[in-house]
Chains A and B, each alone.
Chain A
Amino acid sequence: MNLVILSFILFFSLSFFFIGKARVLRLANYNIKNLNSLPEYYGYYLAAWCALPALIILFFWSIFELSIIKIFVLSDFKLDPTIDDNKLNLIFSQIVSIAEKKFSGTIPQNLIPYVEKFIALNKIIELSKFAVLFSAIILSLIFAYRQILKNIKARESVEKIIRGLMFLCATLAIFTTFGIVLSLLFESIKFFTSVSIFDFLTGTNWAPGRAFVRDASVQTANVENVFGAIPLFWGTTFIAAIAMCVAVPVGLFSGIFLAEYSSRKFRKITKPLIEILAGIPTVVYGFFAALTVGPLFRLVGEKFGLEVSSESALAAGVVMGIMIIPYVSSLTDDVINAVPNSLREGSFAIGATKSETIKKVVLPAALPGIVGSILLAISRAIGETMIVVMAAGLAANLTLNPLEASTTITTQIVTILIGDQSFNNPKTQAAFALGITLFFFTLFINVIALSIVKKFREKYE
Chain B
Amino acid sequence: MRFILEINLRGSGRDMNEKIKISTRNLSVFYGPKQALFDINLDLVENKVTALIGPSGCGKSTFIRCLNRMNDVIDLCKVEGSIKVDGKEINTKNTDVNLIRERIGMVFQKPNPFPKSIYDNVAYGPRIHGLAENQEILNTIVENSLKKAALWNEVKDRLNQPGTGLSGGQQQRLCIARAISINPEVILMDEPCSALDPIATAKIEELIDELKKSYTIVIVTHSMSQAARVSQNTGFFHLGKLIEFNLTEKIFKNPDNKMTQDYITGRFG
Contact = CB atoms under 8 A, between A and B. Distances in A.
30 contacts: A264-B75, A340-B112, A342-B110, A342-B112, A345-B70, A345-B108, A345-B112, A346-B112, A346-B178, A347-B114, A348-B70, A348-B101, A349-B70, A349-B101, A349-B105, A349-B106, A349-B179, A350-B105, A350-B124, A350-B125, A350-B178, A351-B98, A351-B100, A351-B125, A351-B182, A352-B125, A360-B124, A361-B114, A361-B124, A460-B115
B197 to A, nearest CB: 20
Given A342-B112, A361-B124, 6 more contacts: A340-B112, A346-B108, A348-B73, A349-B101, A349-B106, A350-B125
Contacts of B115: 343, 364-365, 459-461
A349 B101 CA distance: 6
4 smallest A-B Cβ distances: which pairs? A351-B102, A460-B115, A349-B106, A342-B112
A329 to B, nearest CB: 23
Interface in A347-384: 347-353, 356, 360-361, 364-365
Contacts of B181: 350
Interface string B165-193: 00000000001001101100000000000
Contacts of A353: 98
B1 interface: no
A49 B88 CA distance: 80
Given A346-B175, A360-B124, A460-B162, A351 B112 contact: no
B129 interface: yes
Contacts of A343: 112, 114-115
Interface of A: 264, 340, 342-353, 356, 360-361, 364-365, 459-461
B164 A461 contact: yes
Main secondary structure of the interface of A (DSSP, over half): helix
Interface in B101-143: 101-102, 105-106, 108, 110, 112-116, 124-125, 128-129
A350 B126 CA distance: 9
Nearest to A360: B124
Interface residues on B, range: 20 to 34
B238 to A, nearest CB: 26
Contacts of B75: 264
Contacts of B162: 459-460
A347 B124 CA distance: 9
B114 A356 contact: no
A351 B101 contact: yes
Contact of B73 (A345, A364, A459, A461): A345
B179 A350 contact: yes
B16 interface: no
Contacts of A342: 108, 110, 112
B99 interface: yes
Contacts of B124: 347, 350, 352, 360-361
B143 to A, nearest CB: 18
Contacts of A361: 114, 124
B50 interface: no
Contacts of B99: 351
Given A345-B108, A460-B164, A461-B164, A350 B101 contact: yes
Contacts of A356: 128
A367 to B, nearest CB: 9
- Most chain B CB neighbours (cut-off 10 Å) among A340, A348, A351: A351
Nearest to B98: A351
Contact of A364 (B101, B116, B129, B182): B116
Nearest to B110: A342
Contacts of A345: 70, 73, 106, 108, 112
B110 to A, nearest CB: 6
A264 B181 CA distance: 34
Nearest to B73: A348
Given A345-B73, A345-B112, A364-B115, A350 B164 contact: no
A365 B129 CA distance: 21
B248 interface: no
A326 B75 CA distance: 27
Given A459-B162, A460-B164, A350 B182 contact: yes
B28 interface: no
B68 interface: yes
A365 B114 contact: yes
B128 to A, nearest CB: 5
Contacts of B112: 340, 342-343, 345-346
A157 B226 CA distance: 53
A255 to B, nearest CB: 19
Nearest to B103: A351
B113 to A, nearest CB: 8
A419 B181 CA distance: 72
A356 B114 CA distance: 13
A455 to B, nearest CB: 13
B114 A346 contact: yes
A352 B98 contact: yes
A360 B68 CA distance: 21
Nearest to B114: A361
Nearest to A461: B164
Contacts of A461: 115, 164
A453 to B, nearest CB: 14
A350 B110 CA distance: 16
A460 B68 CA distance: 29
B16 to A, nearest CB: 34
B171 to A, nearest CB: 11
A298 B124 CA distance: 50
